[in-house]
Each structure stands twice: as structure tokens, then as C-alpha cells.
Chains A and B, each alone.
Chain A
Amino acid sequence: MSLETTPASLQRHWLRQAFASPSFVAGFAITALVATVALVSFVWTPYDIVNLVVADRMKGMSAAHWFGTDHFGRDILSMIMVGSRNSIAVAFLAVGIGIAVGVPLGCWAAARGGVVDEALMRLNDLVFAFPALLSAVMITAIFGPGAVNAIIAIGIFNVPVFARVARAGALALWPREYILAARAAGKGKALITVEHILPNIASILLVQGTIQFALGILAEAGLSYIGLGAQPPMVSWGRMLFDAQTRMIVAPHLAVFPGLAIVITVLGLNLLGDGLRDVLDPRLRRER
């Protein structure tokens, strides 16, 4: 006998439980703030960053320019706001590539088993064997720097992560009796995967997605920092760090604010991921 916490009451109350978890609340608040800032930047920024006001260059913090100005006299706060949408877009698309390619591959490997599974997973290992950022550098170096190539490079390294997570989740579900019952009802493996497997692994994929998203923002910043990501006049947080590095001594605020933006965003996403995992995985919650 056991005291059953039914999945339904979980589903019904998971939002309430989520908002009882400090890490979820903090992560959600930070992520929501970053997303709002990115959206607001489309319609309004304190200053237009296309206008270069050389007279105001390299100003420190002031009431007019909260975070100061850069070497072209552009407002740093405005640049961070505009840069956020590029950083987010790159990370978002890279996670999208990872899910779109990795999840079907993982589900296919789990459904087919045998040689297909073995081959796909060894291919996965091969991609894993290369340090992700280093290989991304290699890819962008070959195909030329730019935001699109950065997305592809980061996306490629998200593929095996999602493939593994999806395969592990799916493998645990295949021997379940409701899957057997579906097979006895004549449903094919593809249909079973869509109807039964995917909805049941969605939560672990969501958690993995937030974590990969944070890593994607870091990777974008890393690539842009060494000049292989966003190219001028496109603004991104990593690009701002790249521009700031030679002026660190005279104007540290040029590096500090974009750096803080990256740190806070990644922290927020990681907290959100942890919080989601606690909420969605009842086993971890009970052991806590």
C-alpha cells in the first residue's frame, strides 16, 4: 500500500507547486525580465543605437546614460536591450535545431533498437568527443563568421544532447504495458512514439531545453567574443565584450554590464531549469 499522489492532482496543481519552489520563482522572474527587455527593445530603447554621438563617447554612469556609453557614444543600456534579442534568438534557434533533429533521432533509436540504435548512439559519441565550443569555433572559422553560422554550429552540438535524453526517456517507456497494449491495437512504432512516448518525455525535454538554452547564450557570447559570432552592425552581448576588451582599463563599465547581463540570464535559466525539474519529476521532489 502507498499514499498515492495521483498524476492528475500533480497536473492540476503543478503551477501552484511551482510557485512554492524558490528556484523556480527566481528563475522564472529573471527569465521573464530578460524576455520583456528583449521584447521592449523592438519598440523602444532609451537611445537609438544607430546614432553615433562621438562627443559623448566612453562616458561613465550618469542619469542620462545609466550604464554609460561606448567608444562611439552609444548608450550601453540600449545596446544591452537590443543585444539581448540577438543573444536570445541565437540560443533559441540553436536549441530548436537540437530538438528538431535530436529528439526524432533519439526516439527512432529507442523504437528500432538493434543496429540503428547502436549506429546512431556511436555517431552521437563521435560528436560528443569534440569539445563543443572548440568545434563551433572550427565550423565558424571554415564557413565564415556570422550569427547564422553560430546558430548552426551551436545547434549541431545540441543534437546529441537531445538525442540521448529522448532515447533514455523513450527506452524506459517502451516496455510499459500501455505501450504493449497500443502495439496489440496494431499501432505502428511511429504512431506510438507520437501518441504515447513524446507526451511522456516532454517534461524532461523541457528541462533539458532550458539548460541548453543557457549554454547556448554562453556559447554565442563565447563565439562573438572571439569575433566569430554576430558581426557589426549587429549587436550582441558577446560582441559588446569583444569591443570592450581593448578598453577594459580605461572604461571597465563597457565590459561589466554586458557581462552581468550574461551572468544573470544564464543564472536565471539554470534556476528555472532546476525548478522545473523539481516540479515535473515527483521522485526528486520527494527525496528533497
Chain B
Amino acid sequence: MSLLEIENLSLSIGGMPILRDVDLAIEAGEVMGLVGESGSGKSMTALAVMRLLPHGARAGGRVAFNGIDILAAPEAAMNRLRGDDIGMVFQEPMTALNPVKTIGEQVAEGIRWHTGANRADAEARARRMLDRVGLPESRFPLARYPHELSGGQRQRVVIAIACALNPKLLIADEPTTALDVVLQQQILELLKDLVDENRMGLLLISHDLAVVADMADRITVMRNGEVMETGETARTLSEQVHPYTRQLARASTHVPERGRHHAAVGAPTLLEVRGVSRDYPLRARRLFGPAQKFRAVDKVSFSLAAGQSMALVGRSGCGKSTLARMILALDRVTEGEIVFQGEELTTKTEAELKPARRNMQVVFQDPYGSFNPRHRVERLVSEPLHLADTPPTREQRRELVSRALQEVGLQPADMDKYAHEFSGGQRQRLSIARALITRPRLIVADEPVSALDVSIRAQILDLFADLNRRLGVAYLFITHDLTVARAITDQVLVMHEGRLVEEGDTDRVLAEPRSEAARALVDAAPDLGRAIARRLAEAG
């Protein structure tokens, strides 16, 4: 008998089918990878195992954990199971911890509730657990609050809570999606060690095939609420028998076709950043003490040629988004200057910035948050036309919007829809259409594909490459994902703690990084091909 057996699990919410005949089994000590794109039912499957389903959900089939019928168990029995025999790690460590309780209280809470231990014993046990997940007492006493920790440290606390009672099964729902690649690798290693030590079963949910290939013994591929394929990781991913598995694998290693370096030679300089720094004031330690400063960006200089595609990579919090905002003149510069098309931007007023803004547009990460939900596409996409010296007539505006929509692969008829009527990938196309409408020379894209599913991401990367080739737009791509940098950029800048630590050709930097920060990024980046090769070698 397996540790967890899911048979013919079906689920509907308010009459809408979510899961259909899902079968899944996990043995003790086994890592099961559950992959699929958003909306495929991965998280709902996990929530069904915990029986934490939303209101109005109806489940059918059988879920057996250690011989207990989960779907039929009384709520009190489930409360005993949750957090004791089944632990769960969530995607967003910011919201998974209670901000007003110390980390010690939060780890000890579950221990006290499940074992009835007194406060001292529970705290001693919590202390051992926090030590185990890499938060030693000297730097992380129990009295720390979540806001005093970084994202990766918080995720360690969440893992400590989930594993405090040596659960038999751990469910990790996208545990590293909110973290940068270096932290991702650390967290994955920690999970792997915990599985080996305690012979836990681990259900690892991820949209990232490379992560799953690296971690999981077996893999289940889901799509639209149904299981497409289940099997041993190495074999499933190397043979790719099922067409959908093959599609996923292709999409996640997709590299758009593009003529490399075609614009870099001899092209005029478009953007020049000279010794730019940005300080943020911190709260003074004492009432009349000197104000503290935090230097988010420290004397960064680089230049970008017309039509060039450049990546700005670095770990989260390294100052790359701050730098991007300064280039876009959305944030003030503390010192240094930014020259765009031969004009110094840092001292200009908003009115004087108009011509520069026309030639410099932005695409954001979140395809959901970057549109006003109350406006139609015509108005959303035409917003930058505000920068035109003479406002276009209604006909001209519709013409321009329709051209921009066609350029990004949408229909002119989409003009009268609202943003929510589009899928995530289509919304990112809308974002790009909005950025293109003024015919800019430079597009700054802040993590433009990291919120998208792999197949959509491949399409958007193709679109970026195509626009670069056709329209000669220069890109500054901000990303922590090296596969994105590799796919569509010629040059790469590596940032670390506000400083530029390395720059050069993308292929060279990613193949043989010279700086320590770049090497850490390259080593930690999950790579599907490498992971499969390693798995196959292990299997012999």
C-alpha cells in the first residue's frame, strides 16, 4: 500500500468540472513531481489531499492517506492529520506567515497543538527544527518576526513549520516560484535532504519542468484537470512519449530564431548610463540621530546601442528594477546621469521628457496588474499616444491601435474588449502593443515572461525576437531567469548588491562567468537537459 493513493479523483466547483479522474500514488521516501500549466488542477489536487477545498467544491473518487479515507474522514480527524502527518509549504512566503507572531511561536504552535507539549518543550523542538532548516540560533533567535527575514529565510520558516512534526507526506505547492534561482536551489536542496532523512513522501508541484526533473523520482503531467502521463522522471522526460509532455519540454527550452549581433556593430549609442546611484532613506536609529541611507544602485555605468538586446540579470533585491525605473524616469537619480538619444534625462521636467518618453516604453511582469480593469483595449493600448505632439483623431487612433494589435498577433476587433477577456499571454501581448504604439527605440521589460506558462512564454519570447528583427527596437530585459537572457539577448549585465559586477556577450557570460555573482546564478539555474542527463546517468 502506498503512502498516498488518489484514485479517480473528480472535483467540481459550483457545477464547473475542475478535476477529472485523477490518479496519483506516492510511496514513503519518494518525490513525486506534479507539473502542468496554470489551470491544470495541480493546486486543487493538493488541496483535495489536505481537504482544504473552497466552498461549493464537490469531490468524488477516493483519496487514501496511510489507509485513511480522506474524503470521508470527519473534520476533527483531518485537523489531527494536517500539520502532523501531512505538512504543506506554500508558494508565497510573505503571506504564509502571520506577521504579528514571532517565528518561534509559529513553529511551536503546531507542535503544541498536535503533541500537547508544554511551551518549553515545544520551543526547544522548534529551535532544533529552525537549526535544521538553516536558521541558526545566533542569527535567528525564536523571537524574530517574519518581516525581519528575507524571502528565502521566510520560506525556510514555512518549511520548518511544515516539517516540525516529521510528517509522512509533505506537499510543496510551487515552493520556489517567488524566489530567485540561487535561493531556489538552496530551498530545493533543503527539501531533498529532509525527504532523505525522514523518508517523507514529497508532492512537489511546479510549472517548471527543469525543477521537477532535478528533484522528482516520478512525475505526473496534468492538463485541464486530467492526468496526461505518469512515470519515472528520467524515462518520461527523455522519451517524451506523450505529445503534451513533448510540447511542455520543447516550450521550456525554446530559443527563438534571431539574427544575433546584427545591430550591435556600428550602431549609434541609444542609451548611456553614467555612474548612476540611488539612495533610499532609512529610518534614523535614534530620534535625532543621523538619517541612515540604503544604496540600492551603486555607480552603475553601461551603454546600449540602437537595436541591441541586452539583459540585466541578478538576484532579487539587487537593484535591477530600481535601475530600470530610473532609466524610465519614473524614479529620481541620486547621482550620475542618464543620456538617452544624446539628451540628458535626469534634470528634465515632465514636459521636457515627452520626446524621450515617446521613444522609451515599458512592459511589466504582471499581465494582470498592468491594465486598468475599467478601460477597453483601445483606450489601454492608446494610452502612450498622450505623448504625441498633436493628439490623433479618433480614426487615426483606431488605426494606430489596430496596427499595434496586429503586430503583436492580436485582431483589430479585440479593440473593444476589456483586458480581463484575454488570457495571461494575450494580456502580455497587449502590454507589448501598448509599448509599441509610439514606435519607441527602446523597450524596458521588467521580468516580462516570468509570470507566464512555458508554452505562452515561448510564444512571447518569439514575439520579442520578431519585433527586434522587424522594427529594430532595442531591449533592456530585466530578469533573474538565465534561459530568458540566453534566448533573446546579445549582451548581458550582471548586477549584485547594487553594483554592476560583470558584462559581456550573453553566450560568453553564461558559458564561463568570471564574477562570483554570475557564477552563482549560472550554477543555480535549473536546466532541463542537464537534469535529464544526470538522471539517466544515475539510472545507468
Contact = CB atoms under 8 A, between A and B. Distances in A.
A178 B369 contact: yes
A185 B369 contact: no
Ranked 9 nearest A-B pairs via Cβ: A177-B370, A185-B384, A6-B420, A177-B364, A186-B357, A7-B373, A184-B362, A186-B387, A177-B369
B374 interface: yes
A50 interface: no
6 contacts: A1-B43, A176-B370, A178-B372, A181-B383, A196-B372, A200-B373
Interface in A176-213: 176-178, 180-188, 191, 195-196, 199-200
Interface residues of A, number: 23
B439 to A, nearest CB: 14
Chain B residues touching A, majority SS: mixed
B238 interface: no
A134 interface: no
Given A1-B41, A8-B418, A200-B374, A187 B386 contact: yes
Contact of A1 (B44, B350, B357, B369): B44
A191 B350 CA distance: 13
B391 interface: no
B369 A176 contact: yes
- Which one of B364, B372, B374, B384 has the greatest number of beta carbons of chain A within 10 Å? B372
A3 to B, nearest CB: 6
A181 B418 CA distance: 17
A181 B435 CA distance: 9
Interface string B338-379: 000000000000100110011011101110011111100000
Nearest to A185: B384
Contacts, number: 75
Contacts of B330: 180, 183-184
Given A1-B41, A196-B372, A184 B366 contact: no
Interface of B: 13, 16, 18, 38-44, 54, 328, 330, 350, 353-354, 357-358, 360-362, 364-366, 369-374, 383-384, 386-387, 418, 420-421, 431, 434
A182 B383 contact: yes
Contacts of A8: 418, 420-421
Contacts of B361: 184
A8 B418 CA distance: 8
Nearest to A200: B374
Contacts of B421: 6, 8
Contacts of B420: 4, 6-8
Interface in A1-34: 1, 3-4, 6-8
Nearest to B330: A183
B386 A186 contact: yes
- Which one of A7, A176, A177 has the greatest number of beta carbons of chain B within 10 Å? A177
Contacts of B418: 7-8
Contacts of B13: 3
Interface string A140-176: 0000000000000000000000000000000000001
A186 B374 contact: no
B38 A186 contact: no
Interface in A195-247: 195-196, 199-200
Nearest to A9: B420
A203 B41 CA distance: 34
B370 A181 contact: yes
B43 A178 contact: no
A180 B44 contact: no
B13 to A, nearest CB: 6
A199 B383 contact: no
Given A186-B386, A186-B387, A188-B350, A180 B362 contact: yes
A186 B353 contact: yes
A195 B375 CA distance: 9
Nearest to A176: B369
Given A177-B364, A180-B362, A199 B374 contact: yes
Given A7-B420, A185-B357, A178 B370 contact: yes
B38 A1 contact: yes
A185 B383 contact: yes
A181 B366 CA distance: 12
Contacts of A182: 383
B425 to A, nearest CB: 15
A181 B434 contact: yes
A184 B386 contact: no
A210 to B, nearest CB: 21
Contacts of A196: 372
A140 to B, nearest CB: 41
Nearest to B361: A184
Nearest to B44: A1
A187 B41 CA distance: 41
A196 B371 CA distance: 10
Contacts of B372: 178, 195-196, 199-200
B388 to A, nearest CB: 10
Contacts of B353: 186
Given A1-B44, A3-B13, A186-B350, A181 B38 contact: no
B383 A187 contact: yes
A190 to B, nearest CB: 11
A1 B42 contact: yes
B354 A186 contact: yes
Interface in A234-277: none
A204 to B, nearest CB: 14
A131 B354 CA distance: 49
Contacts of B40: 1
